Amino acid sequence: MSAQAASKVEKPTLKDHANFIGGKMRPAADGRTIDVICPSDGQVFATIARSGQADVDAAVRAARVAFDTGAWPRTSATDRGRILARMSELILSERESLARLEAKDVGKIYRSTFSDVTVLARYFEFYAGAADKIGGDVIPLPTGFTAFTIREPLGVVAGILPWNSPTQMFGRVVSPALAMGNTVVLKPAEDACLTVLRLAELAMEAGLPEGALNVVTGYGHEAGAALSAHPAIDFISFTGSPEVGTLVQQAAAANHVGVTLELGGKSPHILFDDADFAAALPIITNSIIVNSGQTCVAGSRLLVQASAIDRVSELFGAHFQGLSTGPHDVECDLGPLINAKQHKRVNSMLSTAIGEGVPVIAEGRIADGSSPDGYFVRPMLLGPVPRQNTIARKEVFGPVLSLLPFTDESDAIALANDTPFGLAAAVWSRDVGRAMRASRQVRAGQVYINGYGAGGGVELPFGGFKKSGHGREKGMEALHEFSATKTVILNHG
């Protein structure tokens, strides 16, 4: 199946990237395109298809046929796992080129995209192994009946992705959805399509049948809206902003299909005065500068016990001064923001906060030789930030860390929970009891103690409380999100 399928894939030209539908590259039906801009220098280096309703219809039709009559849902779970394992190997064999492509496309530094691609391979490895480990229950009934449950695929899954980690997001949605026998239509963010398109080709090389995975590129209000409202899809996995999440959930409601929403965050680090500050420093800093703060789990609020505020300001301030922002292909601590709009938005939030009197403790620098047309923002440490200031409450999606003092344990918890979000959090303390109590009281989908992140976190269920969304992806729980229980009752007398 794989060699045959691979021979049917038409290679796009270097710069122009078409949609991937039914195993073939297809330009938008009306030929429209969108320029792809490198965030490090603001220059156009490729185009993608600007898809509309007709392209989305074609992609959903391909996925529908592949699900209703095709091989994928009828392939044994063990064989599906084998194809996913092959995909993991192919990803690793192209790790450098995928990482280079992603770095140029989204402006992330190469070190970071290399690690993202490694995590992507791990997603396929993990769900390859998990595909045939999902069983059901036998349910006790009165004599004469036997009942059991089976997990069934949902059907056509629509995946709408954000731009901040396209390769990781591809792994997070596609590998569990395929493991359960669904077929997929992806709509990557308009600023982050190139690696997703290459990965769709690789999936065919791994042996995925035509139509089991389709990619339509384009704007959210066009291709994204058409996909989320499409009557022939069965489920939506959405990752992005809370505002668009509302629109997607409304579209899902109209078709009575399920949806997971993975939305934003304003995640706190709670740093008690007995914590190991030296160990915390690089980890907390990394949590806000990785991908230039453009991660949903950015550790953007540093809550510090008042008795330690001077020590922490000094330690973190000295560290922030040494950080540098630069192009994706230069040895720096962080790269540019994704686009001109985000650059303007983050700078405007910063100047408003500073104009309102929020003190700057320290700022990093922009590396010499960086293009004036790149979307660079210096890493900033602000504080003490008043609790009600917008910059302490709203998602910045930039390398901005707000330091806020707290008095005691209960004040720390109240402050940690005092945002509309509830995605991730960390508690830093040598007192195990205090750390455990705090971890139980913080309202967040993931809470770390004396750390932040655990490799790619592929194995760990992930999702939000409150305005950070609902549903869980990653880990074994994702297999439940991407499947439904069927109950079979046999009346054998």
Site for ligand NAD in 229-248 (CB under 6 A): 239-241, 244, 247-248
**Residue 164 C-beta: closest distance to ligand NAD, Å:** 5
Binder among 189, 381, 404, 427 for ligand NAD (CB under 6 A): 189
CB 442 within 8 A of CB 409: no
User: Percent helix, strand and coil across the chain, each rounded to 5?
Assistant: 40, 25, 35
Q: What are phi and psi of 194, to 5 degrees?
A: -65, -45
Q: Which is nearer to ligand NAD, 206 or 444 (CB)?
A: 444
# residues near ligand NAD by CB under 6 A: 28
The H-assigned helical ranges of 107-212 are 110-130, 166-179, 194-206
DSSP string, 357-382: TPPEEEE-EEPTT--TTS-----EEE
Q: Are the beta carbons of 237 and 160 closer than 8 angstroms?
A: yes
CA atoms within 13 A on the CB side of 421: 27
- 107 or 469: CB nearest ligand NAD: 469
Q: Which is nearer to ligand NAD, 26 or 472 (CB)?
A: 472
Stretch that binds ligand NAD, among 155-163, 176-184, 346-354, 361-369 (CB under 6 A): 155-163
Residue 483 within binding range of ligand NAD, rule CB under 6 A: no
CB of 70 to ligand NAD, least distance (A): 26
* Spatial contact of 46 and 15, defined as CB atoms under 8 Å apart: yes
User: How far are the Cα atoms of 148, 184, 188, 210 from residue 163, in angstroms, in the given order?
Assistant: 42, 18, 7, 26
Closest to ligand NAD by CB, 249 or 450: 249
CA distance 332 to 108: 10
Does 163 engage in binding with ligand NAD (CB under 6 A)?
yes
- Report the C-alpha gap between 367 and 364 in whole angstroms: 10
Helix axes 432-441, 409-416, angle to 10 degrees: 30
Q: Which is nearer to ligand NAD, 149 or 347 (CB)?
A: 347
Least CB distance to ligand NAD at residue 297 (A): 7
Note the Cα 423 to chain centre separation in Å: 12
Structure tokens at 493: 């007398």
Q: Which of 57, 102, 116, 395 binds ligand NAD (CB under 6 A)?
A: 395
Rounded to a whole number of angstroms, the minimum distance from the CB of residue 250 to ligand NAD is 10
Residue 225 contacts ligand NAD per CB under 6 A: yes
Residue 216 interacts with ligand NAD (CB under 6 A)? no
From the list 38, 296, 363, 473, the catalytic residue is: 296
C-beta of 293: minimal distance to ligand NAD in Å? 10
- Please identify which residue in 224, 299, 336, 374 interacts with ligand NAD, judged by CB under 6 A: 224
Q: Which is nearer to ligand NAD, 362 or 478 (CB)?
A: 478
Q: Which residues pair with 462 in a beta bridge?
A: 473
Q: Which is nearer to ligand NAD, 81 or 240 (CB)?
A: 240
Active site residue 332: no
What's the length of the chain?
493
Please give the Cα distance from 324 to 66 (Å, whole number): 48
Sheet of 469-470: strands edge to edge?
A: 24-26, 19-21, 213-215, 183-187, 156-160, 235-239, 258-262, 469-470
Tell me the per-residue interface mask from 288 to 327 with ligand NAD, x by CB under 6 A, - otherwise.
--------x-------------------------------
Verify binding: residue 190, ligand NAD, rule CB under 6 A. yes
Per the annotation, the verdict on 296 as an active-site residue is: yes
Distance in angstroms (rounded) separating the CA atoms of residues 27 and 48:
8
Of 222, 262, 473, 481, which one is the catalytic site residue? 262
Taking Cα atoms as reference points, which of 260, 266, 286 lies closest to residue 115?
A: 286
Of 242 and 386, CB closest to ligand NAD: 242
CA 366 to chain CA centroid, Å, is 27
**Is the CB of residue 48 less than 8 Å from the CB of residue 36?**
yes
Bridge partners of residue 487, in order along the sequence: 149
Encoded one letter per residue, x for contact with ligand NAD by CB under 6 A and - for no contact, window 249-268 reads: -------------xxxx---
Binds ligand NAD by CB under 6 A, chosen from 52, 159, 166, 220: 220
Binding site for ligand NAD (CB under 6 A): 160-164, 187, 189-190, 220-221, 224-225, 228, 239-241, 244, 247-248, 262-265, 296, 395, 397, 423, 469
Name the residues annotated as catalytic.
262, 296
